[in-house]
Structure 1
Amino acid sequence: MRHLSEEELLELWEQYREGKDASEVEKKGEILNAMWKNRISIPTLANLHLPKVDLCGMDLTYADLCGANLQNAILIGTIFVSADMIGVNCREANLGGSNFFDAEINEGNFAGANLAKVDFTEARAVGTVFTGADIGHGSILMDSDFSKADLSRASLQGAKFRGTNLSGANLKGADLRGAEELTAEQVRTAVIDRETKMPMYMKINWTANGEFECYVEYLE
């Protein structure tokens, strides 16, 4: 996109902001990137149709993305610090290396998304869907709230769980191998099944009635 003034970019944004076909969504992505590069304040993106948009590396700190459709979007390394993303749709989006520090993503949908090496420190993800998502490779969930989140069949290999609230979280079929600082108490408050893969230090003993005992085995 050629260099445009702030006024021209804002006029273009108003022209395309409600567009829903592929070419209009692509144009919205170009306009947003131009605004960011020219240090123009990003307008509200709440409830907007932005599937497959490319916003890699953009700084969306404090942005309003509530209810936005970012399904299949390319958001590698994008910064969502303290963003308001309640109800956002990021199904199958590529969010590798993104930063969600202190973000509000309650009731969102990240099913099948790439969230490898993502920072969720102090984020709120209550009731958010992460079914089948990749949240591994050292992703940070420290001091975050994932209560009632659906993490079934998600890969959480190597994720960091210090202080994470997992109360009522669905971990059925999740892969937690190599997870760091996961406690027995966190696991007890979550929902697991026999397909849940635990880190080596976490031991699960199933009882005949389908309940389980959980404890950490300290290696000498």
Structure 2
Amino acid sequence: DNADLTQADLSAAYLIKADLRKATLVDADLTQAVLSEANLADANLEGAELMDSYLHGANLKGVVNLTCDQIELANFDKDTVFPDYITIQWTEDGYFECCEK
């Protein structure tokens, strides 16, 4: 809870089911990090690098400063919970469209 991970290098970190509620992940490198089923509720992801990260089943409810540009570089599934201002529309062929409100 409330961890300050500003600019942390968490690339390829194994963080399955990690409790990162309210964490500050500003400019953190989460490239290839495995965050499946992690709880990132109310975290700040401003500028965080999510390239090839795994967010399957992760809880991103209440996350601030998350953009579609970041999401489009990550791997996730229909069980991933996004903040209210992000909408994911799945297509029949398994692709998605990300929209910011």
Amino acid at match of 2:83: P
Give the one of 15, 20, 25 matched to 1:135: 20
Aligned-pair identity in percent equals 36
**Normalised by the size of structure 2, how large is the TM-score?**
0.98
Give the one of 38, 42, 62 matched to 1:158: 42
Q: Which has the larger radius of gyration?
A: 1
Aligned runs of 1:49-198 on 2, under 5 Å?
A: 116-136=1-21, 138-198=22-82
SS of 2:87's equivalent? strand
For residues 43-82 of structure 1, give each alpha carbon's deviation from its aligned partner in whole angstroms, at most 9, with x where no partner exists. xxxxxxxxxxxxxxxxxxxxxxxxxxxxxxxxxxxxxxxx
**Normalised by the size of structure 1, how large is the TM-score?**
0.46
* Structure 1 unmatched ranges of 5 or more: 1-115
Which structure has more helix as a fraction of its residues?
Answer: 1
* Structure 2 unmatched ranges of 5 or more: none
Which structure has more strand as a fraction of its residues?
Answer: 2
Aligned residues: 101
Inter-partner Cα distance in structure 1 for 2:99 and 2:31: 21
For residues 165-199 of structure 1, give each alpha carbon's deviation from its aligned partner in whole angstroms, at most 9, with x where no partner exists. 00000000000000000001100000010000000
RMSD: 0.5
Q: Which runs of 4+ in 1 moved over 4 A?
A: none
Higher normalized contact order (CA 8 Å, seq sep 6+, divided by chain length): 2
